[in-house]
Amino acid sequence: MKLNKLTPGSNLLWESSRMVLPEHKEVLQQHQKELHKTTKPILDEQQIELFSHSIGEAMKRNKDVKMQIFNLYEDTYIVGKVKKISPERDKVLIKCKDRDEWINFNEILDISFL
C-alpha cells in the first residue's frame, strides 16, 4: 500500500504547513537540555583523600591521568599530565595535548591512570 496524505494514521496532510520559529526552536532545545540536567554527587573525605594522593603520584611520576569532571549536562573527561598543584586556590593544572587547563579540586569526580 502506497502512503499518501489521506492514508489513515498519516500526518502528511499537515506536513507542508509545519513551521517552527527560531525562538520556539531555541526554547525547545533549552527544555531538552534541562531534562538531562544532573546533580553533583557528594564525595566523602576518603574519596577526596584518594584523589589528592592520585594527583600527587601522577605529578611525581609524570603519568597521564584521565579525570572525570562534573558538568551539569554531560560527562566530561580530561586526559593529560598533572603539571602543577595549587592548594591555596584548590586547583590543579593539567597539560592536555593542545592546551593547559586549571581544574577545581571540588569538580573532580574520578581519576584514573593511563
Domains by residue range for the chain, with CATH: 45-113 (2.30.30.100)
Yes or no: say if 94 and 100 are a contact pair by the CB < 8 Å rule.
yes
**Residue 25: per-residue pLDDT:** 87
Tell me: pLDDT of 6 over 70. no
C-alpha cell at 27: 526554547
Q: Using CA atoms, how far apart are residues 13 and 36, in angstroms rounded to an integer?
A: 33
Res. 2 pLDDT band, cuts 50 70 90: confident
Maximum C-alpha span of the chain:
72
The reply to whether the predicted model has a pTM over 0.75 is: no
